[in-house]
Structure 1
Amino acid sequence: MSTQLNAPVSRENIEALSQGRGEPGWLTDIRKEAAALAGTLEWPRPEKMRIDRWKLTAFGVDRHPELAGDLSQLPEEIRASLPQDAANLVVQRNSGAAYRNLAEEWKAKGVIFTDLETAVREHGDLVKKHLFSVVKADEDKLTALHAALWNGGVFVYVPKNVEVEVPLQAVLYLDDAEAAFAPHVLIVADANSRVSYVDRVLASGAGRSAVAVHHAVVEVVAGPGALVRFASIHHLPESVTDLSIRRATLANDARIEWIIGDLNNGNTLSVTKSDLKGNGSTSDSKLITIGTQSQNMSITTHAVHYGLSSESEMETRAVMRDSATAIINGVTKIEKGATKANGHQTERVLMLSPKARGDANPILLIDEDDVKADHAASVGRVNEEQLYYLMSRGIDREVAERLIIRGFLEPIVSEVPIEAVREELERMIEGKLNA
Structure 2
Amino acid sequence: MTMNSAENRVSGQLQYEAEPDWLTMLRKRGLDAVSTLQLPKLEKTNLQRWPIPQQGIYRKPELVMSLDELPESIRKWVYSDNVLVQRNSGPLIKHLTEGLREQGVILTDLETAARQYPELVKPYLMQAVETEENLLTAQHAAHWRGGAFIYIPEGVHVEAPLQTLFFVDESDTLFMPHVLVVAEKRSSVTLVENTMSSLNKIVAVNQAVMEVFVGEGAKVNVVSLHQLERDLIDLTYRRAIVEHDGQVNWLIGEMNWGKTMSDTVSVLKGEGAGSDIKSILVGSGRQTMNITARTVHIGKNSPSDMVIRAVMREQSTAILNGITKIEKGATGANGQQTEKILMLHPEARGDANPILLIDEDDVKAGHAASVGQVNPEQLYYLMSRGISRVEAEQLIVYGFLAPVVAEVPLEGVATQLQALVEQKLGQIKELDQASISE
Deviations 1:46-71, CA, capped at 9 Å, x for gaps: 11111121011222101111111112
Where do 1:89-100 residues align within 5 Å? 89-100=83-94
Give yes or no for contact 2:39–2:136 (8 Å, CA) kept in 1. yes
Q: Which residue of 2 aligns with 1:402?
A: 394
1:78 Cα deviation from its structure 2 partner:
1.7
> 2:90 is matched by which residue type in structure 1?
G
Q: Which residue of 2 aligns with 1:45?
A: 41
Where do 1:147-226 residues align within 5 Å? 147-204=141-198, 208-226=200-218
1:425 Cα deviation from its structure 2 partner:
1.4
1:395 Cα deviation from its structure 2 partner:
2.2
Is residue 2:55 matched to residue 1:35?
A: no
SS for the counterpart of 1:20 is: helix
Q: Which residue of 2 aligns with 1:346?
A: 338
Q: Which residue of 1 aligns with 2:60?
A: 64
Give yes or no for contact 1:322–1:356 (8 Å, CA) kept in 2. yes
Aligned mates of 1:420, 1:190 — CA distance in 2: 27
Q: Which residue of 1 aligns with 2:349?
A: 357
SS for the counterpart of 2:10 is: helix
Q: Which residue of 2 aligns with 1:146?
A: 140
Is residue 2:127 matched to residue 1:133?
A: yes
Deviations 1:149-176, CA, capped at 9 Å, x for gaps: 1011111111111100110011110012
Give yes or no for contact 2:272–2:302 (8 Å, CA) kept in 1. yes
1:12 Cα deviation from its structure 2 partner:
1.7
> 1:27 is matched by which residue type in structure 2?
L
> 1:33 is matched by which residue type in structure 2?
R
Is residue 2:413 matched to residue 1:417?
A: no
Give yes or no for contact 2:169–2:202 (8 Å, CA) kept in 1. no
Aligned mates of 2:13, 2:287 — CA distance in 1: 33
Is residue 2:122 matched to residue 1:120?
A: no
| Aligned partner (choices 44, 57, 76) of residue 80 of structure 1 | 76
| Aligned partner (choices 263, 267, 275) of residue 275 of structure 1 | 267
> 1:399 is matched by which residue type in structure 2?
E
SS for the counterpart of 1:270 is: strand
SS for the counterpart of 2:196 is: strand
Where do 1:240-251 residues align within 5 Å? 240-251=232-243
Is residue 2:17 matched to residue 1:14?
A: no
Give yes or no for contact 1:331–1:364 (8 Å, CA) kept in 2. yes
Give yes or no for contact 1:8–1:36 (8 Å, CA) kept in 2. no
Aligned mates of 1:176, 1:9 — CA distance in 2: 26
Q: For structure 1, which segment, 61-70 or 394-403, has the greater mean C-alpha deviation from structure 2 after superposition?
A: 394-403
Q: Which residue of 2 aligns with 1:286?
A: 278
Identity %: 50
In structure 2, the CA distance between the partners of 1:423 and 1:8, relative to structure 1 (3 Å rule), is farther
TM-score (norm 1): 0.96
Where do 1:252-263 residues align within 5 Å? 252-263=244-255
Q: Which runs of 5+ in 2 are unaligned?
A: 428-438
In structure 2, the CA distance between the partners of 1:9 and 1:30, relative to structure 1 (3 Å rule), is farther
Q: Which runs of 5+ in 1 are unaligned?
A: none
Deviations 1:199-228, CA, capped at 9 Å, x for gaps: 1101005xx423211000000000100100
Give yes or no for contact 1:9–1:35 (8 Å, CA) kept in 2. no
SS for the counterpart of 2:186 is: coil
In structure 2, the CA distance between the partners of 1:49 and 1:127, relative to structure 1 (3 Å rule), is same
Q: For structure 1, which segment, 277-286 or 17-26, has the greater mean C-alpha deviation from structure 2 after superposition?
A: 17-26
Where do 1:308-387 residues align within 5 Å? 308-387=300-379
Aligned mates of 1:196, 1:93 — CA distance in 2: 22
In structure 2, the CA distance between the partners of 1:48 and 1:417, relative to structure 1 (3 Å rule), is same
Aligned mates of 1:409, 1:62 — CA distance in 2: 38
1:9 Cα deviation from its structure 2 partner:
8.7
1:73 Cα deviation from its structure 2 partner:
2.5
Q: What is the aligned-residue RMSD (CA, Å)?
A: 1.5
| Aligned partner (choices 22, 38, 63) of residue 26 of structure 1 | 22
> 2:41 is matched by which residue type in structure 1?
R
Aligned mates of 1:152, 1:364 — CA distance in 2: 37
Is residue 2:229 matched to residue 1:233?
A: no
Give yes or no for contact 1:9–1:38 (8 Å, CA) kept in 2. no
> 1:238 is matched by which residue type in structure 2?
R
Aligned mates of 1:211, 1:133 — CA distance in 2: 30
Give yes or no for contact 1:8–1:38 (8 Å, CA) kept in 2. no
Aligned mates of 1:79, 1:189 — CA distance in 2: 28
1:293 Cα deviation from its structure 2 partner:
0.7
> 1:41 is matched by which residue type in structure 2?
L
SS for the counterpart of 2:332 is: coil
Aligned mates of 1:80, 1:258 — CA distance in 2: 24
| Aligned partner (choices 424, 428, 433) of residue 420 of structure 2 | 428
Aligned mates of 2:273, 2:410 — CA distance in 1: 24
Is residue 2:381 matched to residue 1:389?
A: yes
In structure 2, the CA distance between the partners of 1:9 and 1:189, relative to structure 1 (3 Å rule), is farther
1:8 Cα deviation from its structure 2 partner:
10
1:137 Cα deviation from its structure 2 partner:
0.6
Aligned mates of 2:10, 2:31 — CA distance in 1: 7
> 2:14 is matched by which residue type in structure 1?
S
In structure 2, the CA distance between the partners of 1:160 and 1:35, relative to structure 1 (3 Å rule), is same
How many aligned positions are there?
427
SS for the counterpart of 1:130 is: coil
Give yes or no for contact 2:88–2:169 (8 Å, CA) kept in 1. yes
SS for the counterpart of 1:13 is: helix
Give yes or no for contact 2:61–2:87 (8 Å, CA) kept in 1. yes
Aligned mates of 2:27, 2:346 — CA distance in 1: 46
